[in-house]
């Protein structure tokens, strides 16, 4: 009987440690959130690539908890506006943060 209680207590402790290890914090994503964010990043990159007026090699995409951050150097303010609009239309995107800059001429 004592061995059974010990096994149950150990199992519960292991389950608690495992679930806490996968939980997200304000600075760290949980496993499921990471997968969702990587899917969103891929979809945003594809949407930008499929937009003929944008040069996808110039725009970097990162996602954290559904917030997409765009960075890089582009040719015009129109490119910035278009990239933000394209990214915002992708499913799962909560908001878009712009860190793109205009190329010096």
Domain ranges of the chain: 30-102
How confident is the prediction for the chain on average, in pLDDT? 82
Residue 47's Cβ-count burial label (10 Å; 0-12, 13-18, 19+) is: buried
pTM of the model: 0.68
- Measure the N-to-C terminal CA separation of the chain; round to a whole number of Å: 79
Query: How far is residue 23's CA from residue 62's CA, in Å, rounded to a whole number?
Result: 21
Coil vs helix vs strand at 105 = coil
Tokens of 89: 């239309």
Alpha helices in the chain (DSSP H): 2-22, 31-49, 77-88
The topology under which CATH files domain 30-102 is 3.30.1340
In degrees and rounded to multiples of 5, residue 51 shows phi and psi of -90, 110
pLDDT in tens, 34-84: 569 999 999 999 999 999 999 888 999 999 999 999 999 999 999 999 999
């Amino acid at each position: 009987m004592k061995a059974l209680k010990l096994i149950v207590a150990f199992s519960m402790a292991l389950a608690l440690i495992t679930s806490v290890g996968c939980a997200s914090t304000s600075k760290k994503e949980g496993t499921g959130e990471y997968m969702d964010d990587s899917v969103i990043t891929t979809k945003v990159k594809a949407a930008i690539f499929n937009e003929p007026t944008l040069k996808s090699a110039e725009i970097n995409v990162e996602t954290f908890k559904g917030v997409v951050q765009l960075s890089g150097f582009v040719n015009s303010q129109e490119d910035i506006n278009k990239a933000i609009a394209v990214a915002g239309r992708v499913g799962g995107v909560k908001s878009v943060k712009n860190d793109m800059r205009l190329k010096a001429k």
